[in-house]
């Protein structure tokens, strides 16, 4: 019996990277996983891979910044499964730029994708969970950049810091309403995703991490499994930092 048996889990940004890793770990633990992404081709590729390994998935295309599309997707999930137990708001983008070089257009785009979409996923995910009345778990993917500053990731850092505090606010509200819905953040450090492969000086990056490694995406999937499972029933409004000791320095 898997740790997420009989749970219905939605994962955004599931076509690659951390979203793909989280979806894989969820499926291994018995969850039925709704794969969400704007990249339809990548979405179905990941869905096929998980299905071939015995997992149950439902790929659904969604622009995570579109409120009306969120409403449609949530309604479709409730119609098909009758419940929604876990939401992982993972979709995001990163853009280099400091306070001098960041344009307003770039700022708005990063905040829209990284923060507004997490607001929508948290709002409508919680609403769906309250309809069923069995509680649930909302997991918002922030970053170590949401804990400490970075001079060259102005908009990204602002968006991820916003995710952290929005999550705490939502967690407090839902706890005080006795909804049994938990809301937490995961803060990944340097993870070996497609984006990290574009970094030329990987040895230099590894040297910044006390454990000395750039981690496999599965470590974030495993962290998400804990927060999605019934093992974390007393954990809400918390920050789960998975960074090899980077922010402990």
Confidence grade of residue 52 (pLDDT, cut at 50, 70, 90): very high
Whole-angstrom distance, CA of residue 207 vs CA of residue 227: 29
Catalytic residue among 104, 156, 190, 234: 156
pLDDT digits (tens, 9 = 90+) for 196-228: 776 667 888 899 999 999 999 999 999 999 999
Domains and CATH numbers, the chain: 8-187+218-238 (3.40.50.720)
pLDDT digits (tens, 9 = 90+) for 135-149: 999 999 999 999 999
SS3 content of the chain, % helix, strand, coil (to 5): 50, 15, 35
Confidence grade of residue 192 (pLDDT, cut at 50, 70, 90): very high
The pLDDT assigned to 94 comes to 87
pLDDT digits (tens, 9 = 90+) for 75-127: 999 999 999 999 999 999 988 999 999 999 999 999 999 999 999 999 999 99
Q: Contact, 223 vs 186, CB < 8 A?
A: yes
Catalytic annotation present for 81? no
- Hey, what long-range contacts does 97-101 have (CB within 8 A, 24 or more apart)? 97/152, 97/153, 97/154, 97/155, 98/151, 98/152, 98/154, 99/154
Q: Is the pTM of this model over 0.75?
A: yes
pLDDT digits (tens, 9 = 90+) for 6-44: 999 999 999 999 999 999 999 999 999 999 999 999 999
pLDDT digits (tens, 9 = 90+) for 167-178: 999 999 999 999
The pLDDT assigned to 201 comes to 79
Q: For all residues of the chain together, what is the average pLDDT?
A: 96
Strand arrangement, sheet containing 239-242 = 56-61, 32-37, 8-12, 86-89, 136-141, 181-188, 239-242
Q: Contact, 88 vs 33, CB < 8 A?
A: no
The pLDDT assigned to 196 comes to 77
The pLDDT assigned to 198 comes to 61
The pLDDT assigned to 85 comes to 98
What is the three-class DSSP state of 183? strand
């Amino acid at each position: 019996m898997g740790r997420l048996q009989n749970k219905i889990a939605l994962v955004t940004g599931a076509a690659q990277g951390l979203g793909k890793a989280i979806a894989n770990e969820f499926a291994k633990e018995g969850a039925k996983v709704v794969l969400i992404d704007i990249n339809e081709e990548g979405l179905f590729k990941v869905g096929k891979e998980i299905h071939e390994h015995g997992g149950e998935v439902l790929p659904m295309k969604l622009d995570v910044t579109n409120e009306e599309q969120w409403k449609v997707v949530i309604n479709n999930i409730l119609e098909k499964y009758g419940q929604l137990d876990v939401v992982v708001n993972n979709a995001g983008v990163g853009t280099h730029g400091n306070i001098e070089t960041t344009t307003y257009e770039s700022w708005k785009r990063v905040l829209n994708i990284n923060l507004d979409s997490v607001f929508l996923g948290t709002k409508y995910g919680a609403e769906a969970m309250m309809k069923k009345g069995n509680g649930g778990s909302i997991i918002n993917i922030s970053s170590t950049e949401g804990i400490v500053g970075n001079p060259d990731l102005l908009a990204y850092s602002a968006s991820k810091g916003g995710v952290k505090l929005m999550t705490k606010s939502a967690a407090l509200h839902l706890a005080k309403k006795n909804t049994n819905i938990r809301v937490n953040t995961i803060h990944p450090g340097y993870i070996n995703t497609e984006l990290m492969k574009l970094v030329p000086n990987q040895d230099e990056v590894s040297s910044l991490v006390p454990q000395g490694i750039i981690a496999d995406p599965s470590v974030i999937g495993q962290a998400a499994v804990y927060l999605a499972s019934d093992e974390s029933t007393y954990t809400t409004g918390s920050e789960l930092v998975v960074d090899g000791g980077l922010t402990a320095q």
